[in-house]
Structure 1
Amino acid sequence: MILKDLPEDTRPREKLLAHGPASLTNAELLAVLLRTGMPGKNVLQMGQELLDTFGGLAGLLHATADDLRRINGLGGTAKRAQLVAVVELARRALAEKLKEKTLFDTPQAVRDYLQLQLGNRPHEVFAVLFLDSQHRLIALEELFRGTLNQASVYPREVIVRALARNAASVVLAHNHPSGIAQPSRADEALTQTLKSALALVDVRVLDHFVVTSTEAVSMAELGLL
């Protein structure tokens, strides 16, 4: 069935305007964003295919433009650009929230932000959230890539960036491409090394998150800080 054959109040765009966005399924919201389907596949079916391919909305939010290119019907630039733009807007909205409020007033926003930034990377990335004296976000910087351990993450570089940002404290974060968010012994050792190094310049390490596409685990909450 094509969308124009559906009753008007069940078409995604009309349903959104009549009943609000909360009344739509994820596939319907994607249909509003994508606007049109393709021969043999209406836009609702395209939305559902995206969700099925990437394992739901969380997986789709971590998809890159290259990932989307492989989906039949998204080979052109317009629809891919729209989806990538929405993900970037989500990242920026979360960053703005963290810059306005104390990080610990919005713990879920911290997790969501880190998952959007790091959760679906194919390689390990070590990042630092630099915070002001009120624990509000100054900036997030990705400092190191590759296999992360005490030999490949340089405390001096973290200190230099913390001083350049005039940070009072930091939150460390890195991803596990394996999908297993449990901190390793190497993660614990690295955290203690950085904590001791940053203490020399009066910068506190408040937490270290291990991030996957589905969760962000706080080492502070596990008592590992």
Structure 2
Amino acid sequence: MELSNFHRSAVLPFSDPREISPMGELVAHLVGHHDRVTAAIWGGGALPLPFGIPATSASEHTATGQCRYNSWALEEDQIRRCLLLGSSNALADQELLQLILSPVLQGNTVVRVSRLLLSKFRTFNRVISASAKTLMALDGLGEDGVVVLKAIHAAAARLQEQEFSDAPIFDRWDQMISYLLVSMGHERSEVFRVLFTDRQNRLIANEVLWQGSIAHVPVYVRDVVKRCLELDAVGLVMAHNHPSGCMEPSLEDQAMTRQIVQAVAVFEVKVFDHIIVGAGQWMSFSENNIL
């Protein structure tokens, strides 16, 4: 969450102006007392807390600007109200995880497990993108918790896919890139995906053809050609991820891409691009003139 998008400057009836954190602003609005916003809501200072909150429970800000709340995190009904007011962006990652997991984890367990998840994976995106096997190894989450998190991840990817699947792919290129980042960007092993298009450049199939290891995925040119013919596709976009986060294509990546371009061209199928994604980044073979 980029706090700069939500902060606004406010002059408070204390010694000097401060910036109110987005969650603090919401809490102050809900209780109707902006003049009682305190150090816990600002994220600093030593004024007394008016809401019965221990001074040691003040919110903290990480180096990236993300709010991090301690044991006094908003109660579930307040978090729900936050969502109903359309202020979901003001929720810290831990609070969002607690709400999502609350139907399957009870009481202090949901708080503890949410903290463990963020301690291990650092961000909400990485939590829901983690493999089911990795999540199952986390103490206290359990199968039901894993199912909930993977369902959220699947829903996020489905939402992104539907943003570009009903129009010519070139009209929704940015949405396609967003989908690839959500669906593949945090995978711990390499995955090779192909998006097949029809004569109107609309998506007709979106398939993961191979999964590999942390540094390699096997790709078979003839199988790509075979799938193009089965689908009567006339265009395609290839995509794979680099778990290392390095966006530079390897020599093997470049050679494989050239082989597929040449093989499908025999059947009048055009490769529009090959996209590499990873850790919130992406690169395009086409844009870098190496297609």
**TM-score with structure 2 setting the length:** 0.66
Task: Provide Cα deviations, 1:48-107, integer angstroms capped at 9, x if missing partner.
Answer: 4322311212212311222222223202x2222111111111122222222112323333
1:66 corresponds to 2:167: no
Does the alignment pair 1:185 with 2:248?
no
Q: 1:6 to 1:206 in 2, by over 3 A?
A: closer
CA positional deviation for 1:10: 7.7
Q: In the alignment, is the contact (CA less than 8 A) between 2:164 and 2:173 conserved in 1?
A: no
Deviation digits for residues 119-176 of structure 1, max 9, x if unmatched? 344433322111122322222222234434xxx5332211110111121200011222
Q: Counterparts of 2:226 and 2:111 in 1: how far apart (Å)? A: 50
When residues 8 and 153 of structure 1 are mapped into structure 2, their CA distance, relative to the original with a 3 A threshold, is closer
Q: What's the Cα RMSD here?
A: 2.9
Q: Select 1:94's aligned residue among 142, 154, 160.
A: 160
Residue 275 (structure 2) pairs with residue 170 (structure 1) = no
Identity among equivalent positions (%) equals 33
Local SS of the residue matching 2:263: helix
Residues 55-204 of structure 1 correspond to what in structure 2 (within 5 A)?
55-75=122-142, 77-146=143-212, 147-148=216-217, 152-204=218-270
Contact 2:129 2:150 in 1 (8 A): no
With 50-59 and 164-173 compared, the bigger mean Cα shift is at: 50-59
Gaps of 5+ in 1: none
Question: Residue 54 of structure 1 corresponds to which residue in structure 2?
Answer: 121
Q: CA deviation at 1:198?
A: 1.0
- Once the two structures are TM-superposed, the CA of residue 6 in structure 1 deviates from its matched residue by 7.1
Higher relative contact order (CA 8 A, sep 6+): 1
Q: State the alpha-carbon separation in 2 of the partners of residues 142 and 196 from structure 1.
A: 21
Per-residue deviation, 1:183: 0.8
d(CA) in 2 for partners of 1:10, 1:145:
42
Work out the CA distance in 1 between the residues paired with 2:192 and 2:121: 24
Number of matched pairs: 219
The 8 Å contact of residues 128 and 140 in structure 1, kept in 2 or not, is answered as: yes
* CA gap 1:81/1:70 in 2 versus in 1, 3 angstroms: same
Aligned to 1:21: 88
- If the length of structure 1 is used for normalisation, what is the TM-score? 0.82
Deviation at 1:180, TM superposition (A): 1.4
